Structure 1
Amino acid sequence: MSRNEWLPPEQWLESLPKNIAAACALLTDPAGRILVVKPNYRDHWLFVGGQLDEGETPEQACVREVKEEIGLDVELGGLLLVDWTPPLQSRPLPLIVFVFDGGIIEPDRVRLCDDELDDYRFLAPDQALPLLSRNGRRRMPVALEAQRTGATLYRSSID
């Protein structure tokens, strides 16, 4: 491509592929049970978290979402998992999800955000798994393995 064929920066940026990004926390109680929440806008349960706002890092988004959804200020541990899922009919852009180790919290400290969430539970992994979305069921064992080994893992729904 010759220099005369280059796009102006704003046109080039507009031509780049787009992705949606989200960040969530794998939070557990002292007994090792996993915190899952039931959003009022979904049929399935999720880890605490949500989409990144404009200009936010994944860590900032995760900390903000934990505060908004369950009323806790958390200090995140390491990044456990980066997960990529392709576009869907209901979501025409690929989704990149960052799962962080949210640490251990006492169940009585959770203050549920009534605007977004209907319920929360601390459950053993085998009890939490069937409540999660297909992608959540795929992510949870990988995040637990990453937490156990201390290694950040990458997965995609086409693995």
Structure 2
Amino acid sequence: MPLSSMAPSSTSQTDDHFLITFAPLSLEDLYRHADHSHNGAIVVMSGTVRDQTDGQEVLSLEYQAYEPMALKVFQTIATEIRQRWPEVNRIAIHHRTGHLKISEISVLVAIGCPHRSEAFAACQYAIDTLKHNAPIWKKEHWADGSSSWVNIGACEQENP
């Protein structure tokens, strides 16, 4: 169920879009939520299910979220982005729950902004902060038949 920020602001916060859903995520839908005539850049980050982690073959992932709190975390991320990059005019964060196959999209983040450097920085901040703060868990299903649940923030530290 979508949740849009309700805080009135001159920076178009009422047009932000946050979503947690069992349905497949749509790049087109996300992009539409980040689009604005003032934008010179829309940066999109798409997280997908990969077929291995740490050299171990992954068959699929399963995501669960504490939705009300996760949506509040998304809103907090948007507020923090606007404090650091006030020129950002659109923020969209969508996350999938349920069972996902290899190559399916699990998370999408889009930042609309007049300038690309701020859009890139804000997008990276959004996904990094989401992974560390949102109450979202994934279960990795391994080729050997085992599986394990982890908080997404504990999954990887590629660029600490």
Task: Give the structure with the larger strand fraction.
Answer: 2
Question: Structure 1 length normalisation: TM-score?
Answer: 0.27
Q: Which has the larger radius of gyration?
A: 1
